[in-house]
Structure 1
Amino acid sequence: MQPPSDPRIKKVTAKDVAERAGVSKWTVSRAFTDGGTVAPKVRERIRQIAAEMGYTPNLLARSLSTRSTRLIALVVDELGNFNQLRVLNEATRQMQARGYSTLLLNLSAEYGPAEAVNLADQFQVDGIVFLGTTLKRDLIELAQRIKHIPLVVILRNSGEADIRYVSTDGYVAGGEIADLFLSEGYRRIGYMAGPMSERTELRRMEGFRDRLKEAGTPLSLVLEASHYRRSEGLQTLQRYLEATPRGERIEALFCENDILAIGAMDALVATHSQRKIAIVGFDDIELGSSPSYELTTFRQPIEYLVSEALRRILDPDADSLGSLMAPGTLVMRQSHRRSAG
């Protein structure tokens, strides 16, 4: 019987592999470095010996010599948001495909932006991606002070000339949704927003309101949910329905994101008002396509946005690239149509 492994056994090092292969330690290092100048046969032999000995490169040690940790910090503040999770999945997938690892920094009441950005700096990350993060003043000032780390904001306009962003054009999207409601003949139209501090720079409401105004139909109502949660969407619309006579209610409602829209649709069911108000969301999360909701929504080009964000951090031409506003796609289902009566 094989005796149990001893946890005190010394880890195999590059020097050990070098001695077995009859090469220098630096040749071993180059054999595990992309683009390293090592003959193909030598590289193959070193890697085979390393596999037999159970050797893996020490990435932290390598970063000291290459001045690159191949580590990207992802700063988030809304992990309960379904769309954020989808973007996080895509971002980590693309980073790993490019040979980078992720340092995930989740902002909260106990762990603020100062701690997150300072930690990213201490880890000497190769870049920072603010993933839909609300850029409050203290976070902006910290980011601007750390000039040696490239950074980019994704899914939200930074609102700062010297902080690049990659986002869907929310203003244009809002206009498209306004046109959809107008084409359906609605005239009493509302908007459900998230918290004031978190919706800044999304520009969805502004595009929606301005397009309605151009068409001679003012925005009739703005509801504000205290958080981007399904329960908040439900309670916000439910309070409105309870306080407003049926004949005075809005005919259509654009919700700032899908999870608020789904909550609003649940409120219609809970008050026996299903399909009495047309509803459109934003993001195209998977739940919205359920037969229970058939949510009409606006899809963001997540794969493209993530790719462009990483390009602004990692590619050789990164310094020449400015901010980017990308078009999205209106996804037509059934929720933008309401029943008669």
Structure 2
Amino acid sequence: MTTSGSSFRKVTASDVAALAGVSKGTVSRAFTPGAPIAQAQREKVLKIAAELGYSPNLLARSLATRKTYIIGLVLDEMATNPNQLALLNEVTRQLQARGYSSLLLNISAAGDAAQPLRMADQLQIDGLLFLGVTLTDALINFARDIKHIPLVVMFRNSADAGIPYVSTDGYQAGREIAALLLQGGHQRIGYMAGPTSAGTTLRRFEGFRDALEERGVQLAAVLQAEHYDHACGLRSLMRHWESTPREQRLQALFCENDILALGAMDCLVACNAARRVAIVGFDDIALAAAPSYDLTTFRQPMEFLVGEAVSRLLDPTRQTAGSCLAPGTLVLRTSHLGMAN
């Protein structure tokens, strides 16, 4: 960039090309992931570009290539669910490694859920990743309509055969957690669910319920949390605790994710009943390992699942690969042990 007093002139591809002794097309290829160009020539162009302070005009490149190199990341519950932040970090890391940028689309329950998707469509993004989003009818209908944009649902099973998903095998996870709690001799066993979704499922509840019934144990209670946040987990168990006679209270509880489980554990502390209920979570967020919680939980293979989802968006040979379910890992700490009621 050259300056004269207060005036500035933006460095162009022609400036880089002239100094490097190459064509403008070569400069463009040097900045395009996967474009055919000799490595030595790419390095020379990039070095001169860095010295001049040049960066390519992505808008112009997108008009020429019909690609924006932008992927829309659709989230909800971002402010209250720590697992969303870890997931966002991993997704952006893998996209950047492939030369892509991300556009964050935060779905708010208070607004028009489809509006961020309409904006992403107008920006002609190259794909959409739904990151554990609780899909509403409006979102599902909009996703079906934008057939020209590939999309993948992550961490939930899509009920629409035309929308591929990449997720942990929640049904098997639920069965493993049920077996763990039954090994502890618990009989009054409950499940804490988060917000429901019309178009996606987690299958954790079904696996948990079925494994209990196969052993002759009926699910004692299903507690409902309005959102995936700590306060909702606390209130959900508090309602059960205050409305249920002591001899009928739950002995064990599987919470749909870790942040609900931590809220449930803090409810017990508030009721002077710490560790009176065996509790298991899901996700293995960083706070789960804190000594004050020592939460037994189920870890999802996040890096692998993100890789599978990104490949389905960006690799033409994988875009018809369909859905993917992967096994997770039961992480044993001490919260599942509980105490006698």
Q: Is the 8 A contact 1:135 1:158 kept in 2?
A: no
1:200/1:221 Cα in 2 relative to 1: closer, same or farther (>3 Å)? Answer: farther
1:142/1:188 Cα in 2 relative to 1: closer, same or farther (>3 Å)? Answer: same
State the 1:96 CA deviation. 0.7
Q: Is the 8 A contact 1:188 1:250 kept in 2?
A: yes
State the 1:20 CA deviation. 3.4
State the 1:58 CA deviation. 1.5
Deviations 1:30-77 (A, max 9, x none): 233334444555444433332332212112211221221111000111
Partner of 2:282: 282
Partner of 1:187: 187
Mean Cα deviation higher: 7-16 or 78-87: 7-16
Mean Cα deviation higher: 51-60 or 219-228: 51-60
> In 1, Cα distance between the equivalents of 2:216 and 2:288?
31
Partner of 1:224: 224
Percent pairwise identity: 61
State the 1:110 CA deviation. 5.0
> In 1, Cα distance between the equivalents of 2:266 and 2:199?
23
State the 1:178 CA deviation. 0.7
Partner of 2:263: 263
Task: Give the letter aligned to residue 148 of structure 1.
Answer: H
Q: Is the 8 A contact 1:132 1:155 kept in 2?
A: yes
- Whether 2:66 is the aligned partner of 1:67: answer yes
Task: Give the letter aligned to residue 286 of structure 1.
Answer: A
> In 2, Cα distance between the equivalents of 1:334 and 1:284?
14
1:120/1:148 Cα in 2 relative to 1: closer, same or farther (>3 Å)? Answer: same
In angstroms, what is the RMSD of aligned CA positions?
Answer: 2.1
**Matched residue SS, 1:236:** helix
Partner of 1:78: 77
Partner of 1:99: 99
Q: Is the 8 A contact 1:63 1:69 kept in 2?
A: yes
Q: Which runs of 5+ in 1 are unaligned?
A: none
State the 1:22 CA deviation. 4.1
Partner of 1:50: 49
Count of residue correspondences = 339
Instruction: List, as ranges, runs of 4+ consecutive aligned residues in structure 1 with deviation greater than 6 Å.
Output: none
Deviations 1:124-147 (A, max 9, x none): 111100111122222112111111
Superposed counterparts of 1:159-308, under 5 Å: 159-197=159-197, 201-308=201-308
> In 2, Cα distance between the equivalents of 1:340 and 1:114?
48
Task: Give the letter aligned to residue 229 of structure 1.
Answer: D
Deviations 1:286-321 (A, max 9, x none): 111110011011111111111100011111312330
1:114/1:8 Cα in 2 relative to 1: closer, same or farther (>3 Å)? Answer: farther
> In 2, Cα distance between the equivalents of 1:77 and 1:248?
35
Q: Is the 8 A contact 2:33 2:99 kept in 1?
A: no
TM-score (norm 1): 0.93
1:39/1:223 Cα in 2 relative to 1: closer, same or farther (>3 Å)? Answer: closer
Deviations 1:232-290 (A, max 9, x none): 11122122212222222121111111111111111111111111111111111111111
